[in-house]
Amino acid sequence: MSRSAHRYAFNLTDAHFNQEPAVSWLGSDGKPARVVGDRFTAQYLVKDEAGTVQPGYGPLAERGLELLSLRDAIILGFTTSEYHAALRVQMLRGELLGSEEELAAELIPPADFSEAVDRELCTDEPGEWPGATAAGQVPYPSEDLFQDEKAVGWATTDGRLLKESPADRFNCLWLVRDTSTNQLRLSACTIAQVGIESLSIKDAIKLGFTTMEYRTALRVRLFERRHLRDEQDLARSMTPPRDVQLAFNRHGRLFLEPENRDVAWGYHMWDVEGPARRWMQGSSVSGDKPTPPPSFP
């Protein structure tokens, strides 16, 4: 794997994706191709604003899947679990997947706590892993989870299809189609209950979520160990204050428990970590530096 310059790019809109959407892969013969041997080292084609098809910004092994919108990922043949895997590695470890083999390995959840320490950079206690709640766990979605049903659109409480997105997408049910029976039914839960990041990338597009909304939900799940609560929480989380952005990009997945502040400050990280901790905990965490433990100079 190669190192990344950052864990996450805080962007408010999808405008940069829309300027040059992906078209296809570039085959070894110089022609557009649907399939290539290694999607991380191959070049892909984009269409610029003038309609000209040309090579993209470089192989994904060097730039990462953060270059790809949800639509781009689908066009280039990435599944939801693969998209999650690449973004998860970059957010948690500040690294980029460099090959299909590395991607395949990342799709498999850690077998135990010691493996999770390396892959998730978690410093939880062994008894606290993988997390007390589902929202607090690092997600490793299986593609099989997305095969049984497909989103059709937002719905009224009596099961009728809405023509437009609801004002509150977090507390509205949506229609799904059972892929085995072709029958329609209401979703079993709301977005507030399971998170935007629990949707397949195709379903997220179908329900009108943007790439940056989807990524924000995944970032909050990974860094803050929770689901987004509502539209206001989403809007607030898409562009946190600059010092909070810097803290998350430097440290990624942080403790929630204030007693761990001594360890962080002992490594001279408190000044950088502090804004993100206060962002997560609100007024429950003081901005004062704790007393350093004796083991640190």
In sequence order, which residues have a C-beta less than 8 Å from that of residue 16 and are 6 or more positions away?
Answer: none
State mean pLDDT over 133-156. Answer: 92
Burial state string for 115-146 with b = 16 or more CB within 10 A and e = fewer than 16: ebeebbebebeeeebbeeeebbbbbbbeeeeb
Least confident span in 47-51, 205-209, 260-264, 290-294: 290-294
List Cα–Cα distances, 151 to 194, 245, 246, in angstroms: 15, 33, 36
Express as a percent the part of the chain with pLDDT over 70.
85
What is the predicted pLDDT for the residue at 118?
Answer: 86
State mean pLDDT over 247-256. Answer: 78
Secondary structure in 3-state letters for 53-68: EEECCCCHHHHCHHHC
- Ranges of each domain in the chain: 2-108, 143-211, 241-297
What is the predicted pLDDT for the residue at 292?
Answer: 35
Q: Mind listing the pLDDT tens digit for each residue in 53-108? A: 999 888 999 999 999 999 999 999 999 999 999 999 999 999 999 999 999 999 99
Binned at pLDDT 50, 70 and 90, residue 278 comes out as confident
Is 256 a residue whose pLDDT tops 60? no
Give the separation between CA 219 and CA 91, rounded to whole angstroms.
7
Cα–Cα–Cα angle for 155, 157, 159, rounded to 5 degrees: 55
Per the CB < 8 A criterion, the answer to whether 56 and 20 are in contact is yes
Q: What residues form DSSP beta bridges with 22?
A: 46
What is the predicted pLDDT for the residue at 259?
Answer: 45
pTM > 0.85: yes or no:
yes
